[in-house]
Amino acid sequence: MKILVTGAVGFIGSHTCERLHDLGHEVVGLDNFNNYYSLALKTLNEKALLQKGITVIATDLRNQDLAEVLPKDINYIFHFAAQPGISASSTFEDYFTNNIIATKNLTDYALQCPNLELFVNIGTSSIYGLEATFPETEVPKPASYYGVTKLTAEQLVLQKSREQLFKSCSLRLYSVIGPRERPEKMYTKLIACAFNGDAFPLYQGSATHLRSFTYVGDIVDGIVSVIGKEAKLDGEIINLGTEVEHTTQDGIEAVEQVIGQSIKIDHVKARVGDQLRTKANIDKAKQLLDYNPQTTLLEGVKAQVEWYKANFV
């Protein structure tokens, strides 16, 4: 299969590229290499992909001439590229253009791919809202620009299934952790603070927030398992994550246990729109994808600490 992966040098996208390549597929990666976070990390991820012989195209999905720079003999599209998370430095326009306009342009390009078997949108539990403990049939109540625009992007993709223009599905991911996690995300920041002696900024009230912290390898297991199942997945929304819940405090203690030292904490003002609880309901993923995440929180943290030590210490 020839597979296009957008957001290819990002955290989960780069892992997915490598797994697809290892499964014998021809992978074409796309990324706009924006400066939302350090380009050094994106360059590090790109280097790992290039060493495997994976093509990486630098282009922005907000450009409308995608068919001029991307191949049209694509069999699958995995769409990770997005303006991520909740950030005070990101404007509504950032979310709107990167998550909605970019996705619309990508679906227009997909219509020009005659061999396309499945368009896989990568969604998020933030679509559900402040609590994400529900099955896929729950009415979404996103509480951030990120969640609102990711919901819109998801519907733009699924619309094409309803119009029977191409087969598509959306995977809603839950609190992914592991090697290559972005620097502003919780575990990379905790690990960096531990090694550098800095204080970790803990948002007020967040120590008791519950999360389905899911190891990236388990997430990628679910993502790649869609291949060959396009007929039964067409038009479907599927949650991917672990059913095991941990508090933010559990996460802090896991990093302290692995590294062997305490982490200084700086209590800061709570973030508007931050989720209070995520617990992945994966009954549908078990049924349709035979999905079965197994990695424990401590195992995931150990792998992430080793990656950080190998690259940044």
Q: Which residues are catalytic?
A: 146
Question: What is the Cα–Cα distance from 239 to 213, expressed in whole angstroms?
Answer: 13
Q: DSSP strand E in 139-222: where?
A: 168-173, 176-177, 200-203, 210-211, 214-215
172's tokens: 């809603």
Q: Around 20, how many Cα atoms within 13 Å sit in the side-chain half-sphere?
A: 30
Question: What is the Cα–Cα distance from 241 to 93, expressed in whole angstroms?
Answer: 29
Q: Rg of the Cα trace of the chain?
A: 19
177's tokens: 């952790």
Q: DSSP strand E in the chain: where?
A: 2-6, 26-31, 55-58, 76-79, 118-124, 131-132, 168-173, 176-177, 200-203, 210-211, 214-215, 237-240, 246-247, 265-268, 277-278
